[in-house]
Structure 1
Amino acid sequence: MTHFPILTMESAPERSKPALKQLEAGFGMIPNIAGVMASSPVLINSLVGLFGNVHGGSFTEPQVQTVLLTDAVTNECAWAVAFHTALGLKAGLDPADVEAIRERRLPKDGKHAALSLLAKTLIEKRGRLDDRDIDQFVAAGFGKDLALEVIAIVAASTITNYTGSVTRIPLEAPFQAHAWPA
């Protein structure tokens, strides 16, 4: 098995340190995924820039976490499922909706269900949505422009999902309670 080191603020390349500082300020820690990504300043800086835009966008934090958790489950990244389960619950997602997503079902909240379905469909169809996919999303009360914003969230989560799957990083203690599959 190939080992990918989890870098720290001290061991990371200089160009990765500002991104790590930003993540540490936001999470109160440097997540293992960020420590692994830090060995590539291009990757860690791309992630931080994209996530900054995603979390400053049109969706509420529970809506963003709905998409991120759906993506993690759809991409089968155990680390990201546990991480976004914790963040989703912290953001106020209904625990039953979180469990539904973890079990590959739609949340009962209509808007969250529409977001989850669109995210899952984007991944499964590799972006080749049809009119029906968009119409369902719009029928839930979202504008077509927000379907494009979901693409940005999916892109951001793809970075973490793929990194987590390629590197098989260990799950931190604070997220162990949300290990997946449960």
Structure 2
Amino acid sequence: MAEFTTYTPDTASDASKPLLEKSQKSFGFVPNLHGVMAESPELLEAYQTVAQLFGRTDLSETERQIIAMTNNRLNGCKYCMAGHTSIMQAAKVPEDVIAALRDGTSIDDPKLEALRVFAEKMNLSRGWPEESDVEAFLAAGYTRKTMLEVVLGTAFKVLSNYTNHIAETPVDDAFAKNAWEPEEETVS
């Protein structure tokens, strides 16, 4: 793979510097992902903007993390699995939900499980779910708007997962306790 620099506010371009300062303020440190993305200020700005928009949806923190983690796992992203596990722990997402998302197993709550399954179907079908998938999702109490929010969350994770794949972004010390390795079938 190509080697990527992990920029800091001190080493970044003039265009990326304020974006990394925003990351520093939000997280208390500059995540390595953001430092790598700073190579392209447009990518880093897009990532931060999509993250902000995804955070404004009607979905709860747990629901947003279900979409993110399902994509992280299916895309085999070690960095994001560790990072989002830490985010979920800080947000007090129930431990059984976190474990299910890390393992790719069912969530006990039927509505949350329907969201996990739909996010998985969207990822695996590349946005072509079966009519029965849509019907099951709507029957669980979600809406057409929620379907589009799954698309938004999936796009958010493509930006970070694919960046981490090509850059082999090192997991931050803050996330290291939640290291994760993909099963072979999730990565090709």
The aligned residue for residue 44 of structure 1 is 44
RMSD, aligned α-carbons: 1.4
- Please name the residue that 1:145 is paired with: 145
1:131 aligns with 2:131: yes
Tell me the equivalent position of 2:117.
117
Gaps of 5+ in 2: 183-188
CA distance in 1 between counterparts of 2:24 and 2:56 reads: 18
* CA offsets 1:115-136 (integer angstroms, 9 cap, x no match): 2111111111000112111111
State the distance in 2 between where 1:57 and 1:21 align.
Answer: 25
Contact 1:54–1:153 (Cα < 8 Å) also in 2? yes
Residue-by-residue CA offset, 1:36-65 (whole Å, 9 max, x unaligned): 000101110110111110011111111111
Structure 1: stretches of 5+ with no match in the other structure:
none
SS in 2 for 1:96: helix
Q: 1:166 — aligned with what?
A: 166
Measured after TM superposition, the shift of residue 25 of structure 1 is: 1.9
Residues of 2 paired with 1:111 and 1:90: CA distance? 22
Q: What CA distance in whole angstroms lies between the structure 2 residues aligned with 1:93 and 1:111?
A: 15
- Which residue of structure 1 aligns with residue 186 of structure 2? none
CA offsets per residue over residues 148-181 of structure 1, 9 Å max, x none?
1110011001101111111111111111111002
The number of residues matched between the two structures is 182
SS at match of 1:173: coil
- What is the TM-score normalised by the length of structure 1? 0.95
SS in structure 1 of the partner of residue 15 of structure 2: helix
CA contact (8 A) 1:78 1:180 kept: yes
Q: 1:9 Cα deviation (Å)?
A: 0.5
**Correspondence for 2:60:** 60
Counterparts of 1:86-105 in structure 2, within 5 Å, are 86-105=86-105
Percent of paired sites with the same residue: 29
TM-aligned CA distance change 1:90 to 1:111, over 3 Å: farther
Give the counterpart letter for 2:44 in structure 1: I
Structure 1 Cα separation of the partners of residues 160 and 175 of structure 2: 16
TM-score w.r.t. structure 2 length?
Answer: 0.92
